[in-house]
Amino acid sequence: MFLLVATALAYLIPDRDEVVAPESGEAGERLATADDMVAIRAEFDRMLVAKGLVTNGQIDLIRHGTKSRAVVTGMRTTGRAREDFREVELDVMVHRPGGGQFAAHEKALIPESAITKVSPGSFVDTYYRSDDESAVAVCVSPA
């Protein structure tokens, strides 16, 4: 993922107007600003949606929802695949950060190398809206 971010950074960060001579060993380097990182994240999100790996709704939950952990209580593969991802239907028990829990059902594309991370009994990162627990987004990193 670092390579992708570095490539996106090269395209998204405009050249500076002023010419500053780099110090030795720093030729071609510059610090990315917070605005640069927001632009990179937005471009990365658009790429994931364009590839069909996540939906706009899932991105919205991940970026603006409540982060929590969930226990996988059931997992079924659908037989569908996209790139190196496999579609699964997950039943999860989401833990509310303030206490309590709720059951949720989510269809997600999971990296093939991480499919064992969503077996029943596994813990996964989830995102949801505290005022609407009807939708969750599940995040699993590659193995």
88: domain CATH number? 2.40.50
Whether the full predicted model's pTM is greater than 0.75, yes or no, is: no
pLDDT tens string 12-42: 444 445 555 656 666 667 788 888 898 998 9
Total domains present in the chain: 1
Residue 24 in domain:
no
Residue 4 in domain:
no
Residue 18 in domain:
no
Residue 89 in domain:
yes
Residue 28 in domain:
no
- Residue 54 has what DSSP assignment? S
Starting at the edge strand found earlier in the chain, the sheet holding 101-111 runs: 101-111, 85-95, 66-82, 123-129, 132-139
Q: Which domain holds residue 116?
A: 67-139
Residue 99 in domain:
yes
pLDDT tens string 75-102: 999 999 998 999 999 999 999 999 999 9
DSSP per-residue letters across 58-122: HHHHHHHSEEEEEEEEEEEEEEEEETTEEEEEEEEEEEPTTS-EEEEEEEEEEEGGGGGGGSTT-
